[in-house]
Chain A
């Protein structure tokens, strides 16, 4: 059964959120979210790439030889990333460009983009693929902005570089540094799974974690 168009779009935001459920793209998630504005910038850049690459790949998937589909997809994705990078250098505020630095070119190897190309765009039509890209991108951007805002607030009492608690003068460094990012992402993941479990129990179902996250379906340590 095919999803409705709305479901194609909305699943990326919560049900199949790329960071919180699929656990893809963890590197930029942890690295650039030291402030809310950095997270938002990274999320929007990735969204643009996702929409563009999903659209083009859905068009060419039918004629792409199966043997070389991955290199072809990567060329498409890399083209979009470079275009976004050039546009950002030209029109985005210089401080944002400097903060995101190397992570914009690295969207090429972001698992979310290639993952959606393989899992969705290659099997679905043009319009649905764009919706999927937009939804996944929006989910990614929202998660990154939220994470950035939490980290920024816990370390200096400000959000989007605006001080909320004016008396907070000395920065608390843990949330702004890498270990803090891991701790906070862990807390958010736990919260997401708690919500899923509660919903399942309310509906009288047995809670089953997503397959990739479930220990029983993992064969690495067996």
Chain B
């Protein structure tokens, strides 16, 4: 054994490293195959949890399975007894303070915004993140009480709820002469979120015709 340990023969060295690599690759292949299924189901589960929290009317189909792509935006369609009752549009915006913000905006069939839900963001904790996050704050006094159902509130995101997407509408924050309140210290994030909803609304108004054709089928 000691002659392997002190070997300087290039074939011994490369052979040893090669064997190590092959063994490692074998182990990884095995683990990757074993975890492929749980990883997939975990991501589906996370998506389902997000879709449940969108204030959509009651639906009975599998929304993750019924997806339509319109002009680069992915819509998950909610159906109740085979009739379309709502849409969830997955949109993203690159003008956040920390880069990309991914969100889901849900609409009913008339184009009213039901909920704005941020999936992923990299905003500053406490400032921009407070604009993006919806979270129930647990305190030491309600530590063991169950988490309340439904969508946690967020003053900046909630003001879009009930607004109607129509051709030409574009919302702005009050600083830019609009009507949407924003969070002091997080102007850039508030602007990005408003832009995100605008983009979703514009895409939705353009996409509605396509949905109507789809529904007629």
Contacts and interface: CB of A to CB of B under 8 A. Distances in A.
State whether these chains interact: yes
Interface of A: 34, 60, 62-68, 71-72, 75-76, 78-79, 82-83, 86-87, 89-91, 94, 98, 155-156, 158, 161-164, 166, 171-173, 176-177
B16 A79 contact: no
A88 B60 CA distance: 31
A171 B20 contact: no
Interface residues of B, number: 35
| Chain A interface SS verdict (over half) | helix
B110 interface: no
Given A86-B35, A86-B39, A162-B138, A71 B17 contact: yes
Contact of A163 (B1, B16, B120, B139): B139
B31 A62 contact: no
B32 to A, nearest CB: 6
B46 interface: yes
Ranked 6 nearest A-B pairs via Cβ? A171-B126, A90-B38, A163-B139, A79-B24, A90-B35, A86-B35
B127 to A, nearest CB: 7
B70 interface: no
Interface of B: 1, 4-8, 12-13, 16-17, 20-21, 24, 27-28, 31-32, 35, 38-39, 42-43, 46, 120, 124-127, 130, 137-141, 143
A30 to B, nearest CB: 14
Given A86-B35, A89-B39, A90-B39, A173 B5 contact: no
Contacts of B125: 34, 155, 171, 173, 176-177
A83 B28 contact: yes
A75 B24 contact: yes
A156 B42 CA distance: 30
A65 B12 contact: yes
5 contacts: A63-B5, A64-B16, A65-B16, A66-B5, A79-B28
A171 B19 CA distance: 53
A97 to B, nearest CB: 9
A65 B35 contact: no
A4 B26 CA distance: 36
B6 A66 contact: yes
B124 to A, nearest CB: 7
A6 B117 CA distance: 51
B139 A166 contact: yes
Contact of A86 (B4, B5, B8, B31): B31
